[in-house]
Structure 1
Amino acid sequence: MVVGDLLWHATGKEIRIFAPTLEGETQLQVLIRPLVQDSAGEVTSGTLMRTHPTRAFFGHIDGKVSIYNTKDFSCLAVLSISGYKINSLTGVGDYIWAGFNNGKISVYDISQTPWTIKKEWQAHENPVVKIVSDPSSCYRIDRLQVISLGADNVIRVWDGLLQEDWQEDEMKAQEAQYCDFEDIKALVMTWNAGASTPHSLRYANQDATFIRNLLQSSDSPDILIFGFQELVDLEDKTATAKRFFKSKKKEGSDQERMSHQYRDWRDFLMKSLDDHMPRHDLYHLLHTATLVGLFTCIFVKSSLRDRIRNLSASEVKRGMGGLHGNKGAIVVRFLVDDTSMCFINCHLAAGQSQANSRHNDIAAILETPLLPAERDPNKRIDSYTGGGDGTLILDHELCVLNGDLNYRIDTMSRDTVVMAVKQNNLAKLLERDQLLVARRRNPGFRLRAFEELPIKFAPTYKYDVGTDDYDTSEKRRSPAWCDRLLYRGRGRIKQLDYVRHEVRVSDHRPVTGRFRFTVKRIDPRDRAVAWMDCQVRFEDLRAREDNNEKMAYLMHVIGYDTATAKSLAKPRRDRSPSRTRA
């Protein structure tokens, strides 16, 4: 990589800097020792940035980026930006584009530390081999092109200005000018019910009032989301295997039995709402969805029902290599007025040592296109986020993810964990919680996109059924916070509480959260005015970028001074005196 008059050359983990001579004689090595960062892997790529002329950026095989001062050669920082190998880096305006070994391209805003991901997408089916920016395209063909080459031998051309994303950000920043906002209340419950039924709940003396007390203390929410896991017995591995290999005829009868269990819970919840919510609050069943033990049941107030549209649901199977639904997720999305909402009910891979499998489950759930796409570009900008079209979970403005995520407490014996719980020393245990550790240490962990209220309750798993004792069976499983609620709303979601409930008919305790969602209604006329202003600002941005690239070429490639470069960079109509014909 050429930096000014010097050649920066990387091999392995070492970066050497040379000052080539005009005569081509032996090159002079500027530094006695090469630049090496022990905390980073082999160097794979490098780039310079017009907006940071005194910095050189190098990508590494372990997903890290090292940053050097090009004047004194000091290392300014080593940042971990991904868990994947960086194959290529290029500077585009104010951002760095990175191409990874998994075929993805990520665009980073480097104005603050840690860097933030501006946009990320699957660019190629195979690893990204190279990304190249074409600055001259700004003034040659009136667009800033970025070209990527994949190991699939496909070349793709991308919009370097990220016009749709820029317009989305600008419009969202101006929403107060064309939107009316309203807060609505929601209650979300997650519970691994351990194949329990409404009948077993009703006739367990200590548990019979759980749903009633939950509803009566819920402050009459506008939306209720009940997310169950294991409404059928998944602990019986023989039965699960038989269910997978059954003939179609037997499978039908099995489905009927499972459907009966789902209907029992649906009917029980409907009756509970009728019996225990205020008389003036009428609730409608909006949607139910099932997947081998997973059950999502959503109710909304009658006053909200007519404001809901674009309801869709889907599922992701993660059991047995993605073939079976004993593990996976149910996804339900809809719009309230002009705000998109997505609710994800998960059951991830079990086992103390299976944290990576759980990470992979979450990645598959969040990265799989599941839902119908919004074709209208204006509606995409108004109701979705990140330049998305609604096919992905993270395209939605408000997301709540619940479930038996199965994350465990690492490197502690069962007895140590139980003793810490009895002493209410939860902080000690939370330091080892696999989900929280991954959020802190793993830059590629997909749940980093979500927030979670601080946990102030004891681990919700695993209990001896019918007791308050953690597992005393032969396996003696260690307690863990398997049952979680996470949310993502960019300031439009506020979680009001995070509570576990003492229900003993299952080996898990239910967890609930009350939320406040901010939804918007768009005024079409005011939006049209804001959109025109946005278009004007984008053309100004395009013109500035055009001028900046011209100046960079004229000064740093051709060698003109600033005044000459400014004169030549002006549009031709601005440089030529006006003439009139006689």
Structure 2
Amino acid sequence: MSTPGMETMEQNDNEGDNFRLHLVTWNVATADPPVDISSLLHLESPKGPDVYVFGFQEVYSGPLRFMSDVVFDDPWSHCLMTTLAPWNYVKVSSIRMQGLLLLFFSKLEHLPFIRDIQATYTRTGIFGYWGNKGGVSIRLSFYGHMLCFLNCHLSAHMNNATERMIEFEYITDMQIFNCEKAQRILDHRLVFWFGDLNFRIQDHGMHFVRTCISDQNYSLLWSKDQLIMLKKKEKLLQEFEEGPLHFQPTYKFDLNTDLYDSSSKKRKPAWTDRILWRLIPKALSSDKQEECGDRSDANNVGQPEEAKKSILELSQDLYTSDMQYRISDHKPVIGIFTLKLKKMQTTPLVHLLAEGEWSADIDAMLVYFPKQPFPSSSWDWIGLYKVGFSSVFDYITYTWVKDDEVAVDEEAIKVYMSKDEIPVRGGECVLGYYCNTLQCIIGISEPFKVHASKVAIEEGLVPEKLRSLH
């Protein structure tokens, strides 16, 4: 399935690069992840996604579990990190507000071009203080284009459609980012809005709704879907697009079944779980729609203003539910998009490499080369990661850039790393430069081998088949 604009995208491939975005929203009803989540991820597709974004609602947040999740990764984050890391995906950012969880993963190759990351949340629950309802968001610059992802859980029940709209407007007004040129959600060039939005199918009776679902005549229900109805009169909603609802309503099911609610309440099925987007056309955007944290790009210097105009187009390739999961009374919804853009950055801000031979037997030296000016600080650090690391903070060790500098010239800066911090068993590793101001990794080295220490080999800590490699 595609939306209007796909033809234009295919005709103008030479004007930009295509990226695949894979979004999932799921109200998990406090359940832990199933054993197999591969169906949600489409990892076996010919071209894997460049970016994954997951929005969960009603993640279990009992007092003991919630305190544990503050220190350790929650089960959903851990499951996705463990599953995606072998495929070379890294968790770039996440934010949680009680049961609301938002996760952003990227292919490793894009990491140095995802910058100025900020995340925030807004409560709309009981008296505006309880975090059971509201919105969590992550904003970032992707190759110089400002994107924002908003995961919401809005008020429930049939008669609260207007309240849901008020909550959405409140969230978009209240969330403020430390970015002069995109302080609010709607200042971003591209916004994805998704979650358990809780809009229902009104007027139609239960028998008619269930008959339409049984016969797969979903279009007969669209005219009474509250979100579609509100779009006809709410100007803000008219700015958002959504693909056709060519899948059965995702709420409410009996647990561990594919049967709609058979309890005494017999809630009417509804498309409560949705994915929408808002793209500001190039003609309506201004120069303010550039990255706020990093404004220097050597590739743009001296170019005419017209050449700097950014290409940003979006088409939806798939919008569906995944009916095989039964752990919740909701079914997950998947949206897959092709994002076409002209890269505003093509060079990492720093280039990194490991100098000489690395092992736990000797102190090591790394070198980084600033390729462009960037807002460095005394809180910047360089991490040593195993190849296949799962998140930005999944490092083996790190060294403070400013504290451990040992040599500086006009082009290269050398930084010391103690042998005591290097893994004795060795392995394939990479280095990553983390810029605290931009809240992201701005440079990744090529993989290199860290040799096992002599002590590790002598004590049998290295498997026999790997000893010859050292």
Do both share a fold (TM > 0.5)? yes
Across the aligned residues of Structure 1 and Structure 2, the Cα RMSD in angstroms comes to: 2.3
Query: Deviation string for 1:475-519 (max 9, x for gaps)?
Result: 110000000000112462111110110111110010111111223
1:366 is paired with a residue whose SS is helix
Corresponding position of 2:135: 329
Aligned pairs, how many?
A: 301
Aligned AA for 1:336? F
Corresponding position of 1:443: 234
Indicate if the aligned counterparts of 1:183 and 1:518 stay in contact, CA closer than 8 A.
yes
Within-5 A mapping of 1:178-217:
181-198=16-33, 201-202=34-35, 208=36, 210-211=38-39, 214-217=42-45
Within-5 A mapping of 1:556-571:
none
Corresponding position of 1:353: 159
CA distance in 2, matches of 1:346, 1:191: 11
Name which of 105, 108, 119 aligns with 1:302.
108
1:453 is paired with a residue whose SS is coil
Corresponding position of 1:223: 51
CA distance in 1, matches of 2:121, 2:97: 7
Query: Deviation string for 1:145-193 (max 9, x for gaps)?
Result: xxxxxxxxxxxxxxxxxxxxxxxxxxxxxxxxxx973221110000001
Within-5 A mapping of 1:47-86:
none
Change (3 A) 1:342 1:409: same
TM-score with structure 1 length normalisation?
0.49
Name which of 452, 459, 470 aligns with 2:260.
470
TM-score with structure 2 length normalisation?
0.60
Does 2:85 align with 1:274? yes
2:158 is paired with a residue whose SS is coil
Does 2:119 align with 1:313? yes
Q: Percent identity?
A: 32
Indicate if the aligned counterparts of 1:398 and 1:493 stay in contact, CA closer than 8 A.
no
2:168 is paired with a residue whose SS is helix
Deviation (angstroms), 1:270: 1.3
CA distance in 1, matches of 2:77, 2:139: 19
Change (3 A) 1:355 1:212: closer
Moved more, 288-297 or 212-221: 212-221
Corresponding position of 1:518: 340
CA distance in 1, matches of 2:332, 2:72: 18
Aligned AA for 1:439? K
2:170 is paired with a residue whose SS is helix
Unpaired segments of 5 or more residues in structure 1? 1-178, 203-207, 234-242, 244-250, 375-388, 525-582
Corresponding position of 1:368: 174
Indicate if the aligned counterparts of 1:328 and 1:361 stay in contact, CA closer than 8 A.
yes
2:166 is paired with a residue whose SS is helix
Change (3 A) 1:327 1:209: closer
Does 2:151 align with 1:342? no
Name which of 75, 84, 88 aligns with 1:264.
75
Change (3 A) 1:193 1:317: same
Deviation (angstroms), 1:415: 2.6
Indicate if the aligned counterparts of 1:487 and 1:493 stay in contact, CA closer than 8 A.
no
Name which of 293, 308, 317 aligns with 1:496.
317
Corresponding position of 1:397: 189
Indicate if the aligned counterparts of 2:93 and 2:105 stay in contact, CA closer than 8 A.
yes
Corresponding position of 1:535: none
CA distance in 2, matches of 1:332, 1:434: 27
Aligned AA for 1:390? A
1:326 is paired with a residue whose SS is coil
Aligned AA for 2:173? E
Moved more, 402-411 or 415-424: 415-424
Query: Deviation string for 1:13-37 (max 9, x for gaps)?
Result: xxxxxxxxxxxxxxxxxxxxxxxxx
Indicate if the aligned counterparts of 2:121 and 2:134 stay in contact, CA closer than 8 A.
yes
Richer in helix (by share): 1
Aligned AA for 1:504? R
Change (3 A) 1:437 1:260: farther
CA distance in 2, matches of 1:456, 1:217: 21
Deviation (angstroms), 1:522: 4.1
Unpaired segments of 5 or more residues in structure 2? 1-13, 282-312, 347-470
CA distance in 1, matches of 2:190, 2:46: 20
Query: Deviation string for 1:525-578 (max 9, x for gaps)?
Result: xxxxxxxxxxxxxxxxxxxxxxxxxxxxxxxxxxxxxxxxxxxxxxxxxxxxxx
Within-5 A mapping of 1:17-36:
none
Corresponding position of 2:99: 293
Q: Relative contact order (C-alpha < 8 Å, sep 6+): which is higher?
A: 2
Moved more, 328-337 or 412-421: 412-421
CA distance in 2, matches of 1:420, 1:399: 32
Deviation (angstroms), 1:365: 1.4
Name which of 225, 228, 249 aligns with 1:459.
249
CA distance in 2, matches of 1:326, 1:336: 30
Corresponding position of 1:61: none
Indicate if the aligned counterparts of 1:223 and 1:300 stay in contact, CA closer than 8 A.
yes
CA distance in 2, matches of 1:469, 1:392: 41
